[in-house]
Amino acid sequence: MLKETWRNDQEYMSYVGELLAKPEVQKLANYTQHHFSTRLQHVITVSYLSYRLAKKFNLNARATARAGILHDLFYYDWRVTKFDRGTHAWIHPRIAVRNAEKLTTLSPLEKDIIIHHMFGATICPPKSLEGLIVSLVDKYSATQEYSEHLIQEFEGKMLKNFSFAKVSK
């Protein structure tokens, strides 16, 4: 569904196209996020789904789309890198804001969305409905991305152990 839909959405691209063209954002393609997705794929998914929900509810779709692209703008493997001053869930949104501010001017709403997108893993809720949307879509996307890995692994074991023929979709 999302593979090409977002590319052809002119309004969405008017909000995020300039960000997506930046090498600092493209660099996210070099980092695995949830087993079978790159961090770039993840932020595009979160951004586009959040943008569509914001539009549906007559919220700030521009800020939602931009913050969605920038919410995981960090350059380390979160499974390996650990911090003394807090968990990855607390630290990486602050790193993402600092990195985003080097690329573009963030509105207060965009900054808040990025800082609070880990609500649930942290106790700090977003101050806006746009922030809540990005936070929830981030969790949904992460679950979907990781579940895809588990389903493929399960299918592989079933095929191997029980010689089931794979049924095409």
Q: What is the CATH number of the domain that holds 149?
A: 1.10.3210.10
Residue type for 100, please? A
Q: Does residue 168 belong to any structural domain of this protein?
A: no
DSSP 12-73: HHHHHHHHHHSHHHHGGGGSBSSSSSBHHHHHHHHHHHHHHHHHHTTS-HHHHHHHHHHTT-
pLDDT tens, residue by residue, 66-120:
999 999 998 887 667 676 777 778 888 999 999 999 999 999 999 999 999 999 8
Global pTM?
0.84
pLDDT digits (tens, 9 = 90+) for 45-65: 999 999 999 999 999 999 999
Q: Is position 167 within any domain?
A: no
Q: Is residue 96 part of a domain?
A: yes
User: Would 32 be classed as within a structural domain?
Assistant: yes
Give a yes or no: residue 141 inside a domain. Answer: yes
Counted domains in the chain: 1
Question: Is residue 48 situated within a structural domain?
Answer: yes
Range of the domain at 89: 2-162
